[in-house]
Amino acid sequence: MTTPVLETRHVSRDYTVGGGMFGSRRIIHAVKDASLKVEKGKTLAIVGESGSGKSTLARILTLIDAPTSGELFVEGEQIDIRRHGVSKQLRRKVQMVFQNPYGSLNPRQKIGDVLAEPLAINTDMPGSERADRAMTMLRKVGLGPEHFNRYPHMFSGGQRQRIAIARALMLNPSLLVLDEPVSALDLSVQAQILNLLADLQDEFQLTYVFISHDLSVVRYIADEVMVMYLGDVVEQGTRDAVFADPQHAYTRSLFAATPRADVDSIKARLARREASVTA
């Protein structure tokens, strides 16, 4: 039996709020008893609306926050960042792609330097090798040498997300956590980024955790689906099982509220929109 790239056992995260001069302190249970496994080369989609706890869970999985309780394992190694922090070796294993690529890119850095920076911080690789790897990764995400010395503001939203994905891959991570990576993009660009992620996963045998508020957008990319509501995991299973027969009322409401967003449906909606404009 193979060891999962990522596993959590009964992970919870609580926050204490209030406690001012006139208020009483109270505890918010942002994530409650979340258990999951993701095998190498597979994609787990974590779905839910704002406030469901999915982004809090993402911060735990990417070693930004420690869980209040429960256990976290990366490639079979138990991780406790409260006691041991995050080593450079562990940081190389887990990387994150955020929703807003422009906000996560330094506007004063050229793209070549943006990509090379993780290598400069986490490895002893010489500068020439860092630059070569950055150039190679630009090509992998569909950009070219002419983009190497440009600044982030010179790119479109879709191109910036390609750059953010390239930066996340510079350290050859085992796990990539993608927090709403396509929700800020136009429909046609969403399809391109989803295709890119699928191609990169096949080439590098990447393991993804894909965070989304839109249940249907994961139809194209997910192997397993976890649905969260107010911190609870209300449904969990294979993509085919969840889409064919959702068991929880909240999951069914998400299906009813969101249009299909797989690549074929995106193309169909674009065609209908163009037809209505020319009619």
Q: Can you tell me whether residue 35 is helix, strand or coil?
A: strand
58-88 confidence digits (pLDDT tens): 999 999 999 999 999 999 999 999 888 888 8
Mean pLDDT, rounded, of the chain = 89
Quote the CA–CA distance of 165 and 116 in Å, as a whole number: 13
Using a 10 angstrom Cβ sphere, with 0-12 exposed, 13-18 middle and 19 or more buried, the burial of residue 173 is buried
- pLDDT tops 90 at residue 249: yes
Check residue 57 and give its pLDDT: 95
91-140 confidence digits (pLDDT tens): 899 999 988 877 778 899 999 999 999 999 999 999 999 999 999 999 99
- pLDDT tops 70 at residue 262: no
Quote the CA–CA distance of 197 and 117 in Å, as a whole number: 22
Measured between alpha carbons, how far is residue 114 from residues 53, 84, 111, 223 in Å? 30, 28, 5, 31
- Residue 69 neighbours by CB distance under 10 Å: 13
pLDDT-based confidence at residue 154 (cuts at 50, 70, 90) = very high
Check residue 194 and give its pLDDT: 93
Q: What domains does the chain contain, in order, with CATH numbers? A: 40-63+85-278 (3.40.50.300)
178-190 confidence digits (pLDDT tens): 999 998 888 889 9
Which residue in this structure is represented by tokens 């990764």?
137
List b or e across 243-278, with b for residues whose CB sees 16 or more CB atoms inside 10 angstroms: beebebebbeebeeeeebbbbebbeeeeeeeeeeee
Find the helix or strand (DSSP H, E) in which 164 lies: helix 157-169
Check residue 253 and give its pLDDT: 87
Higher pLDDT, 278 or 89: 89
- DSSP output for 62-115: TTSS--SEEEEEETTEEE-HHHH---HHHHHHEEEE-S-HHHHS-TTS-HHHHH
Q: Whole-prediction pTM value?
A: 0.87
Check residue 259 and give its pLDDT: 60
DSSP β-ladder status, 224-229 and 232-238: antiparallel
189-243 confidence digits (pLDDT tens): 998 999 999 999 999 999 999 998 877 678 889 999 999 999 999 999 999 999 9
Check residue 242 and give its pLDDT: 93
The tokens of 127 are what? Answer: 């500068």
Q: Is 154 left (phi over 0), alpha (psi -120 to 50) or beta?
A: alpha
